[in-house]
């Protein structure tokens, strides 16, 4: 499967969309749980990013629950 490049702006926009906020309201270093993320929303992101070729696991994101860490994980 061809991998789509998930840019930092795209990752923030996707997180903001599932949280129902503007991308500028998503803090990179604040745990996403504190920003309103729950397991259903997190699974939505995992499935969306996997569909675009990302090799990511729900537990990878859950164990490191900040956008800053996700940017690193998704860049690998």
Band the pLDDT of 75: cuts 50, 70, 90.
confident
Q: Do the Cβ atoms of 36 and 65 come closer than 8 Å?
A: no
Asked, for residue 63, whether it belongs to a domain, the answer is yes
pLDDT tens-place string over residues 4-62 = 578 999 999 999 999 999 999 999 999 999 999 999 999 999 999 999 889 999 999 99
Specify the number of domains making up the chain: 1
- Structural domain contains residue 3: no
What is the domain range of residue 41? Answer: 8-75
Q: At what angle do helices 8-19 and 39-51 cross, to 10 degrees?
A: 140
pLDDT for the residue numbered 70 = 95
Please give the model's pTM, rounded to 2 decimal places: 0.89
CATH code, domain with 35? 1.10.1200.10
Tens of pLDDT, residue by residue over 48-73, are 999 988 999 999 999 999 999 999 99
Specify if 1 maps to a domain: no
């Amino acid at each position: 499967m061809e991998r789509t490049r998930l840019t930092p702006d795209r990752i923030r926009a996707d997180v903001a969309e599932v949280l129902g906020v503007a991308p500028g309201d998503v803090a990179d270093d604040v745990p996403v749980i504190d920003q309103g993320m729950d397991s259903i929303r997190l699974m939505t992101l995992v499935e969306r990013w996997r569909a675009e070729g990302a090799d990511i696991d729900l537990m990878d994101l859950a164990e490191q629950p900040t956008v800053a860490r996700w940017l690193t994980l998704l860049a690998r």
